[in-house]
Chain A
């Protein structure tokens, strides 16, 4: 049998604790009445519908690793390669996200932000910048994917 748990409910009394309780519930009621969540617009409602329907294909475009998919054909499945961008890696700059997004896409391959590995991915914003970065870091291009994106190998 269940343990008897209730005790006699006392009516609110004009004691300090009774007054505090009444005021607390009044405050809560006010908070509930005045609280609002932001309203949503059409496209988001459509996305929610797709989410509930379990259709994933639309959400692939939100994957931050998608821009790095073309490199999958050129890189080894495992090991370590370098990943170079317009400027040298700085963990406190927003550009650091490129390395992290690429890493998420290419796991279990590890991406080193330093230009020290035999193979490197160049993920720059323009071809000219990519070429300049290749020269200053001692690599040579082996495949150009266009728009500043290249595969490179360390010069021997």
Chain B
């Protein structure tokens, strides 16, 4: 399992950062969230460390990035342990440890009170079992498929892996990846995934074929767990297991994950950011906003579409803050500031990349004026209808999506007619609508042939918002047995 060893530092680093940010917050299911988000966050931070090392001291970037990563992990881990230990020693009366208390509570909960409780427990246990069996089978299938095609799909081989090779093989000449000579490799694309690959290769000391599939599998499992976490803690435990199982059955996220594309990593960060924002808005806790901001920033560091997500989510949050200003002024403003604080580091890194290195681009960096772009958009009515038809065709494809988009549409109707629309649940459909509208505009102004572009990219773009569509469907169409987070709740 040597090829898995590069996971060690990202997992520990991601855990330390998130655990510190989530200290003294009333987040439910904190452990499950940490389990889901630690490794992707760690990948993000390690890729940032690698980028800054290679930018500032290219000749010694690899040893410096490794040392910095290990050092930061030890420092933050030690700080977390120290914080936790001082908190325990400060307690005046002896209290049972959280583990013992949890065990006692679980034991107590396990005793059935009446038949309905027994039935509920049995149903939950069966649901959990179905989830675990499905997860096992899907992981088995993932490993079989990547073993047969270890280098992944076209973009994985010739774009993402190419950038990773520049970072790993030649820190002094890494800027070759932005050369116009190889403009087909998209010099303006962000570097979270290439940085993750280069981090692993650097750790192992060679370009391991086995590391990229392991990293991709981590993102896939994290995406499943983040859904289980949110649905379990915000909707119902039953929704958690079934939501996770349903996601495991969706073919596109699995397929593009096996192909080692960055669409599922982006979907993970977009989902984690949005779901954490919903929890933060309900709980009114600044630290939760910061975690949401960090995830949104890492989405922008993963793919260009992440920048669009970041902009849309910031505008939505800004709008909400403005609307709520009359009622809870300082709390919401603090929330917005914390969100922006979380975004900061990844966003600055993306800006450095775009301003100093990857200046070219098919859209904003293409040299076309805003007027030209607008004329292109409004002069192509047949293209607009083709894009809308693609949405309909893909949305109705049951073999791939298992009815997800039909459920989502129905959930939208239910939401529209719902009398009590609290809990900020409307954010998800608005976000999905805005993001996909943005993608439709991007198709219109893309210099590539539209039919070809739709055939190669449309399904992948739907993967970005699929986890959120799933969450919204479960929120609207199932029993809610969990009360929403309360403002200023007790700390855990």
List residues of A whose CB falls within 8 A of some B CB: 1-3, 5-7, 9-12, 17-18, 20-21, 24-25, 27-28, 31-32, 35, 37-38, 40, 44-45, 47-48, 50-52, 54, 56, 59-60, 62-64, 78, 80, 91, 96-97, 100-101, 103-104, 107-108, 110-112
Is the CB–CB distance between B182 and A110 below 8 Å? yes
Per-residue 0/1 for B474-488: is the Cβ within 8 Å of any A Cβ (1 yes, 0 no)?
000111011101100
**B111: shortest Cβ distance to chain A, in Å?**
16
How far is it, in angstroms, between the C-alpha of A6 and the C-alpha of B116 when the chains are bound?
16
Residue of A nearest to B166 (CB): A107
Option from B26, B141, B181, B249 in Cβ contact (under 8 Å) with A3? B26
**A6: shortest Cβ distance to chain B, in Å?**
7
Q: Is B213 an interface residue (CB 8 A)?
A: yes
Is the CB–CB distance between A101 and B181 below 8 Å? no
Residue of B nearest to A99 (CB): B184
User: Given A44-B144, A51-B143, A78-B170, A3–B28 Cβ distance below 8 Å?
Assistant: yes
24 pairs, A vs B, C-beta closer than 8 Å? A1-B490, A3-B26, A3-B485, A3-B492, A5-B483, A7-B481, A9-B120, A18-B479, A21-B478, A25-B478, A27-B403, A35-B249, A37-B137, A37-B138, A44-B144, A51-B146, A51-B213, A59-B147, A62-B149, A63-B209, A64-B151, A100-B185, A103-B185, A108-B174
Residue of A nearest to B168 (CB): A107
How far is it, in angstroms, between the C-alpha of A64 and the C-alpha of B477 when the chains are bound?
47
- Number of CB contacts from chain A to chain B under 8 A: 147
Chain B residues near A45 (CB, 8 Å)? Answer: 144
Q: Is B150 an interface residue (CB 8 A)?
A: yes
User: Given A40-B144, A54-B3, A31–B402 Cβ distance below 8 Å?
Assistant: yes
Option from B149, B162, B479 in Cβ contact (under 8 Å) with A103? B162
How far is it, in angstroms, between the C-alpha of A35 and the C-alpha of B400 when the chains are bound?
10
Chain B residues near A10 (CB, 8 Å)? Answer: 479, 481
Q: Is B386 an interface residue (CB 8 A)?
A: no
Q: Is B169 an interface residue (CB 8 A)?
A: yes
Q: Is B455 an interface residue (CB 8 A)?
A: no
Is the CB–CB distance between A110 and B181 below 8 Å? yes
Is the CB–CB distance between A12 and B242 below 8 Å? no
How far is it, in angstroms, between the C-alpha of A149 and the C-alpha of B148 when the chains are bound?
29
User: Given A5-B483, A24-B477, A54–B210 Cβ distance below 8 Å?
Assistant: yes
Q: Is B130 an interface residue (CB 8 A)?
A: yes
Q: Is B1 an interface residue (CB 8 A)?
A: yes
Is the CB–CB distance between B157 and A11 below 8 Å? no
Chain A residues near B210 (CB, 8 Å)? Answer: 51, 54, 56, 59
Secondary structure dominating the interface of B: helix
Chain A residues near B245 (CB, 8 Å)? Answer: 28, 32
Per-residue 0/1 for B389-426: is the Cβ within 8 Å of any A Cβ (1 yes, 0 no)?
00000000000001100010000001000000000000
Residue of A nearest to B98 (CB): A2
What is the interface residue range for chain B against chain A?
Answer: 35 or more
User: Given A59-B209, A62-B150, A3–B490 Cβ distance below 8 Å?
Assistant: yes
Is the CB–CB distance between A54 and B157 below 8 Å? no
How far is it, in angstroms, between the C-alpha of A6 and the C-alpha of B181 when the chains are bound?
60
Q: Is B158 an interface residue (CB 8 A)?
A: yes
Option from A2, A11, A24 in Cβ contact (under 8 Å) with B478? A24
Chain A residues near B185 (CB, 8 Å)? Answer: 100, 103
Q: Is B165 an interface residue (CB 8 A)?
A: yes
Is the CB–CB distance between B479 and A21 below 8 Å? yes
Q: Is B161 an interface residue (CB 8 A)?
A: yes
List residues of B whose CB falls within 8 A of some A CB: 1-3, 26, 28, 116, 120, 130, 134, 137-138, 141, 143-144, 146-151, 154, 157-158, 161-162, 165-166, 169-170, 173-174, 176, 179, 181-182, 184-185, 208-210, 213, 233, 238, 242, 245-246, 249, 402-403, 407, 414, 473, 477-479, 481-483, 485-486, 489-490, 492
Is the CB–CB distance between A64 and B157 below 8 Å? yes
How far is it, in angstroms, between the C-alpha of A4 and the C-alpha of B120 when the chains are bound?
19
Is the CB–CB distance between A110 and B176 below 8 Å? yes
Is the CB–CB distance between B492 and A108 below 8 Å? no
Is the CB–CB distance between B209 and A21 below 8 Å? no
Is the CB–CB distance between A107 and B169 below 8 Å? yes
How far is it, in angstroms, between the C-alpha of A25 and the C-alpha of B477 when the chains are bound?
9
How far is it, in angstroms, between the C-alpha of A18 and the C-alpha of B116 when the chains are bound?
17
Is the CB–CB distance between B492 and A2 below 8 Å? yes
How far is it, in angstroms, between the C-alpha of A86 and the C-alpha of B473 when the chains are bound?
53
Option from A20, A35, A60, A97 in Cβ contact (under 8 Å) with B414? A20
Chain B residues near A108 (CB, 8 Å)? Answer: 166, 169-170, 173-174, 176
How far is it, in angstroms, between the C-alpha of A100 and the C-alpha of B154 when the chains are bound?
10
Residue of A nearest to B170 (CB): A108
Residue of B nearest to A10 (CB): B479
Is the CB–CB distance between A3 and B179 below 8 Å? no
Option from A37, A54, A104, A111 in Cβ contact (under 8 Å) with B181? A111
Is the CB–CB distance between A31 and B157 below 8 Å? no
How far is it, in angstroms, between the C-alpha of A97 and the C-alpha of B3 when the chains are bound?
28
Option from A40, A44, A51, A100 in Cβ contact (under 8 Å) with B157? A100
Task: Please indicate which of the listed interface residues A5, A50, A103 has the most CB atoms of chain B within 10 Å of its own CB.
Answer: A5
How far is it, in angstroms, between the C-alpha of A7 and the C-alpha of B173 when the chains are bound?
59
Chain A residues near B146 (CB, 8 Å)? Answer: 51
Is the CB–CB distance between A50 and B182 below 8 Å? no
Is the CB–CB distance between B144 and A48 below 8 Å? yes
How far is it, in angstroms, between the C-alpha of A63 and the C-alpha of B149 when the chains are bound?
9
How far is it, in angstroms, between the C-alpha of A20 and the C-alpha of B33 when the chains are bound?
29
How far is it, in angstroms, between the C-alpha of A2 and the C-alpha of B303 when the chains are bound?
37
Is the CB–CB distance between A21 and B208 below 8 Å? no
Is the CB–CB distance between A100 and B176 below 8 Å? no
Option from B28, B143, B149 in Cβ contact (under 8 Å) with A52? B143
Residue of A nearest to B171 (CB): A108
Chain B residues near A91 (CB, 8 Å)? Answer: 184
**B431: shortest Cβ distance to chain A, in Å?**
22
